[in-house]
Amino acid sequence: MTEPARARRIAIRADASREIGGGHVMRCLTLARVLAERGADILFVVNPGVASLVPALALSGFRVAEVAPGAPAMIDAIRRTWTDGADVLVFDIYSMGRTGETAARAVAKLIAVIDDLADRPHDCDILFDQTFGRGPDAYGGLIPTGAVCFVGAQHALLRPAFAELRRQTLSLREAGGPVRRILISFGLLDIGGLSAVAVRALTGRGFALDLVVGSGAPSLPQLRVLADACGDLSLHVDSDHVAELMAGADLAVGAGGSTSWERCCLGLPSVLAVVADNQRAIAANLSAAGVAVLLDEPTEAAMGDAVMALAGNAAARIAMTRAAAEVCDGRGAARLAGAILAPTVTVRPATLDDAHNVWVWRNAGDALRFYRSAEATPWPAHLAWFTRALADPHRDLLMCEVGGNTVGHVRFDAVDGAPRDRWVSLCIDPEARGEGLGARCLAAGCAHAVSVGVVRIHAHIHRDNAASLAVFGRCGFLATGEREGEFGVFTLA
């Protein structure tokens, strides 16, 4: 009998502290739950003291190893759990960059990085950044050739409850009813102590106030005192029902961190304050897009004025809801889990036996209109071309495989006058499209090309081919500004 496949082993390296808050661990918990639902075995590797700062981790049921800083302690923790290492190691930690990631390859087959700074190089196979307004070009030169980059708020790591509540909540907000309930949330640890400022600004104005905070927040004793004194304030400590609280709110006041994507998913009009440097770009982009009101100074007066102005303007709230809903759909955790658990793509040299598959794929559906030669090629002419191409030293034809099945074709053509440059083209089996294989096949092909001495890789992409633009962008190709008719020229950064 065939033995059942073992669970995929996923280690997650993330930290929490009173300085950086608990957002990294919380978003990794969201990812871990989705991975576990798909059969993965999870290990969290964190800094000492995280359990007291992020009780949700201790209650999650996942294995947790608390370790000293640096790669050696992390590697030892993984080896103690799995003697032959992890299948995947996910980093969500600012203090460990390329050096630590490279060291981690001793105990992990695949490295995934969650980042939102784009300020340092990484040694990874997958990079994930949920920053609104940022594109894959931010990581040009910072990740290896062959890495796949998922960038933008559509990839935000939210618990499934947000996506489940999204449609009904957005419909209710479109009615533009009065503001009765306001959610206050400045992060798990309430960095900066702004929760109390917001309560003082809003209590007694006729609103019901819900304040969400973690039990590890230094401000919690003060907030308990406020809750006892303010009859309109409900305090929610370590709540598992944030999605429901957010769906029931009419406005929010909070920080410009990862909770921003939860508010966007549910179209919740917001007043934002920046409580950490890594939130500045996020908050500024959200404000510029009409998603939230950003306070220059988060004073009591400023918060009160901003909330009262929004409460009195139903049209502005509806516009804000619509803008916010465009930012994030709440399904980012499923997307990243799919990328992490996806089977490995390998490449091999094409043979004449592959000619028919490539011919069928190229001529399938409406994809043909996006080729530089947009006419269907008869089989005899294609076979003759494929035969010549296999023997052409200026061409490299590769077939992409997943689990022994051929799923795509990557072709590299020499560039005239530039012996170490190549033009690349990609073709995926129509039956395998829509599963994220395009980016993985392209990444595997480009990694192979670089391994054999290719220095620069270029592509022609039709201006209307949204799928290819996304795939090539995810693999690090940037627009050069050059055009050849309806085709733009892109180069791998």
DSSP codes, 16-51: -BTTTBSHHHHHHHHHHHHHHHTT-EEEEEE-TTHH
In which element (H, E) is residue 119 found? none
What pLDDT sits at residue 327? 95
249 belongs to a structural domain: yes
**Using CA atoms, how far apart are residues 168 and 152, in angstroms rounded to an integer?**
24
Q: Same structural domain for residues 148 and 214?
A: no
| pLDDT tens, the chain, 493 aa long | 344 567 899 999 999 988 888 889 999 999 999 999 999 999 999 999 998 889 899 899 999 999 999 999 999 999 999 999 999 999 999 988 899 999 999 999 999 999 988 999 999 999 999 988 888 889 988 999 889 999 999 999 999 999 999 999 999 999 999 999 999 999 888 989 999 999 999 999 999 999 999 998 999 999 999 999 999 999 999 998 999 999 999 999 999 888 899 999 999 999 999 988 878 888 999 999 999 999 999 999 999 999 999 999 999 999 999 999 999 999 999 989 998 998 889 999 999 999 999 999 988 867 777 777 767 789 999 999 999 999 999 999 999 999 889 999 999 999 998 989 999 999 999 887 767 788 999 999 999 999 999 999 999 999 998 889 989 998 989 999 999 889 999 999 7
Q: Same structural domain for residues 35 and 119?
A: yes
Q: Which two tokens stand for residue 29?
A: 């918990």
Q: Same structural domain for residues 271 and 229?
A: yes
183 belongs to a structural domain: yes
Q: Phi and psi for 341 in degrees, rounded to 5? A: -90, -5
Handedness of CA 332, 333, 335, 339 (dihedral sign): positive
Last residue of a domain, one of 124, 157, 190: 157
Last residue of a domain, one of 141, 157, 173: 157
Q: Same structural domain for residues 229 and 191?
A: yes
Strand partners, 488: 461, 483
**Using CA atoms, how far apart are residues 57 and 64, in angstroms rounded to an integer?**
8
The parent domain of residue 401 ranges over 345-492
What pLDDT sits at residue 3? 47
Q: Same structural domain for residues 297 and 258?
A: yes
DSSP strands (E only) in 177-217:
181-185, 208-213
406 belongs to a structural domain: yes
**Using CA atoms, how far apart are residues 431 and 95, in angstroms rounded to an integer?**
42
**Using CA atoms, how far apart are residues 369 and 363, in angstroms rounded to an integer?**
10
336 belongs to a structural domain: no
What pLDDT sits at residue 79? 97
Residue 463: which CATH number? 3.40.630.30
Q: Same structural domain for residues 177 and 303?
A: yes
| Separation in Å, CA 10 to CA 152, 160, 264, 353 | 24, 20, 29, 38
Contact by Cβ (8 Å): 73, 67? yes
Q: Same structural domain for residues 193 and 322?
A: yes
What pLDDT sits at residue 4? 54
1 belongs to a structural domain: no
186 belongs to a structural domain: yes
Number of domain units in the chain: 3
Q: Same structural domain for residues 59 and 132?
A: yes
Q: Same structural domain for residues 168 and 313?
A: yes
pTM, two decimals, is 0.82
2 belongs to a structural domain: no
Q: Same structural domain for residues 23 and 138?
A: yes
74 belongs to a structural domain: yes
Q: Same structural domain for residues 393 and 319?
A: no
Q: Same structural domain for residues 454 and 473?
A: yes
Residue 47: which CATH number? 3.40.50.11190
**Using CA atoms, how far apart are residues 425 and 427, in angstroms rounded to an integer?**
7
